Amino acid sequence: MNKTVLITGATSGIGLGCARKFAANGDRLILTGRNAQRLEEVRKELAAKGTDVLTLVFDVRDRAKATECIETLPAEWKAIDVLVNNAGLALGLEPEYEGSYDDWDTMVDTNIKGLLTMTRLVVPGMVKRDSGHIINIGSVAGDAAYANGNVYCATKAAVKTITDGLRLDVAGTAIRVTNLKPGLVETNFSNTRFHGDTERAANVYKGIKPLTGDDIADVAVYAANAPAHVQVAEVLILATHQGSGSVIVRK
């Protein structure tokens, strides 16, 4: 059955992969992001293939704007079936004692507080309807810290705990809650992490075939379409030559 799927950070990488895969699955999409022009390009691409798309431009750290956008959704878009909390980022890769306060604030505000804001805004409607699915994009980085990953890893550990907490809180309803934990996915992630140092970013994916946004989206679409009694609670998705957050065998 067609679902209404809201994806945060749908302009790039895993979020864009999810937009394309849920569209191919026949779902209707609410795509959110900060870059209005990119969002419009994605909307046009998917609309050309027959997908009904609504775009919302806001930063997940802007709680007032996020609230306004969700509370003023047109009536026919209000019943969100699937929330994909994807918007997020890493900034920096350095020892904790040398980290940037600004980078830390941005990661905590986006990866933890932004995800919480969207959850708080969307899930009450799901509870009322006794129906829905929250798919949070966590990370292998949340399972164990890797060297110099410190605060980013902590935000993804928080995503795991927040996801587990929500699953407990809605266990009496038909709502399902999923934490997808990708390893190395080639997206704009490393460019952002290294503040636009494209050469350093490219090195992250050298000597290994990394995952793609589509690979993660495939798992999201599977989880959202599993039979109603099946709750895909957590999935760790690694490239074949990645053993853990810190073990990558390059050839």
Q: How many residues does the chain have?
A: 251
Q: Is 245 in the site for ligand 8X3 (CB under 6 A)?
A: yes
- Which residue among 187, 219, 221, 238 contacts ligand NDP (CB under 6 A)? 187
Secondary structure of residue 102 in the 3-state scheme:
helix
The active-site residue, picked from 97, 152, 205, 222, is 152
Structure token pair of residue 178: 């999923």
Q: Nearest 5°: CA angle at 165, between 167 and 235?
A: 60
154 is a contact residue toward ligand 8X3 (CB under 6 A): no
The yes or no reply on residue 61 touching ligand NDP (CB under 6 A) is yes
Q: Is 205 one of the catalytic residues?
A: no
- Among the listed residues 17, 33, 92, 183, the single contact to ligand 8X3 using CB under 6 A: 183
- 188 near ligand NDP, rule: CB under 6 A: yes
CB 14 within 8 A of CB 221: no
According to the binding rule CB under 6 A, does residue 212 interact with ligand NDP? no
Residue 239 near residue 208, CB atoms below 8 Å: yes
> Which residues, 6 or more positions from 196, have their beta carbon under 8 angstroms from its beta carbon?
none
Buried b (16+ CB within 10 A) or exposed e, 127-141: eeeebbbbbbbbbbb
| Stretch touching ligand NDP by CB under 6 A, among 19-27, 53-61, 168-176, 217-225 | 53-61
Positions in the binding site for ligand NDP (CB under 6 A): 8-9, 11-15, 33-35, 59-61, 86-89, 110, 114, 137, 139, 182, 184-185, 187-189, 192, 213
| Residues with a known catalytic role | 152
